[in-house]
C-alpha cells in the first residue's frame, strides 16, 4: 500500500511538473524569438554582382559597366563591350543570373 501511494505521488508530481513547464509563457516566448532571430537572409554585395556579370563577358572590365542599379531583390545593369550590349539581372540573395540579353550595338 505504501509502495502504491509513493508511485501515484511521484507520477502526479511528474505530470504537474511537465504541464507547468509546457504551459509557461516565458518558455514559449523565448523559444519563438530565438527561432525568429536566427534566420536572416543576406544579400550579395554590388561588387560581387558586378564580378558575376563580368565573368560572362571575357575581357570586359568594370569600366565597361555603363548602367548598374539595385532594385530591392536584384541587381540590374548593362555592359558595353566590343560592339555588344549585355543586359543582366542578378538575384541579390543567391547571386544567380536571372536574366541575360545580348544586343549588337
Q: What is the pLDDT of residues 3-47, one digit of tens each?
A: 666 566 655 656 666 656 555 555 555 555 555 555 678 999 999
Q: What is the pLDDT of residues 48-66, one digit of tens each?
A: 999 999 999 999 999 999 9
Distance between CA 63 and CA 70 in Å, rounded? 18
Q: Are 83 and 74 in contact (CB under 8 A)?
A: no
Write down the domain spans for the chain. Answer: 2-38, 46-104
DSSP helix/strand/coil, 95: coil
Write the CATH number of the domain with boundaries 46-104: 3.10.450.40
Instruction: Kindly state the helix (H) or strand (E) to which residue 101 belongs, with its residue range.
Output: strand 97-104
Amino acid at each position: 500500500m505504501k509502495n502504491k501511494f509513493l508511485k501515484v505521488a511521484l507520477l502526479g508530481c511528474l505530470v504537474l511538473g511537465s504541464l507547468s513547464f509546457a504551459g509557461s509563457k516565458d518558455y514559449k516566448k523565448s523559444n519563438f524569438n530565438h527561432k525568429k532571430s536566427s534566420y536572416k537572409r543576406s544579400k550579395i554585395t554590388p561588387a560581387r554582382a558586378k564580378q558575376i556579370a563580368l565573368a560572362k563577358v571575357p575581357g570586359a572590365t568594370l569600366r565597361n559597366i555603363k548602367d548598374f542599379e539595385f532594385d530591392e531583390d536584384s541587381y540590374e545593369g548593362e555592359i558595353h563591350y566590343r560592339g555588344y550590349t549585355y543586359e543582366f539581372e542578378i538575384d541579390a540573395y543567391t547571386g544567380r543570373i536571372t536574366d541575360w540579353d545580348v544586343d549588337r550595338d
